[in-house]
């Protein structure tokens, strides 16, 4: 299983819960999408997978007027903190 570390150097793996501390938004995002990504900061979610380069991927679910919306976000170690259970 692939692992990476959080901002404190703690090991994290798929299934671990992390708090999103920061994001690296795509410069081409429109203002509404950028606001949605900014609102993810501070939320906690489970790691779905970790790429070989150490990027941890999380999924954030949103309740919107048309139903649900899902967003995948890749986090570098300095952008997440392991949540103690």
What are the domain boundaries of the chain?
4-82
User: Whole-angstrom Cα distance, residue 83 to residue 85?
Assistant: 6
Cβ neighbours of residue 19 closer than 8 Å, sequence gap 6 or more: 42, 43, 44, 80, 81, 83
pLDDT digits (tens, 9 = 90+) for 59-81: 887 776 787 777 889 999 999 99
* Number of helices and strands in the chain (H, E): 1, 7
Q: Which pLDDT belongs to residue 70?
A: 78
Stated as kind and residue range, the H or E segment containing 67 is: strand 67-75
The DSSP letter of residue 79 is G
Specify the CATH number for 4-82; select among 2.30.30, 1.20.5, 3.30.40, 1.10.3470.
Answer: 2.30.30
Query: Model pTM?
Result: 0.85
Q: Which pLDDT belongs to residue 36?
A: 81
CA-closest candidate to residue 75, choices 38, 52, 50 = 50
Residues in the chain with pLDDT values less than 50: none
Q: Which pLDDT belongs to residue 22?
A: 94
């Amino acid at each position: 299983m692939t692992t990476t570390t959080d901002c404190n150097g703690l090991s994290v793996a798929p299934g671990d819960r992390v708090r999103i501390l920061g994001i690296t938004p795509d410069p081409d995002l429109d203002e509404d999408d950028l606001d949605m990504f900014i609102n993810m900061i501070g939320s906690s979610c489970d790691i779905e997978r970790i790429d070989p380069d150490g990027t941890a991927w999380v999924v954030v679910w949103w309740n919107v007027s048309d139903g649900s919306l899902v967003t995948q976000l890749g986090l570098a170690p300095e952008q997440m903190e392991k949540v103690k259970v």
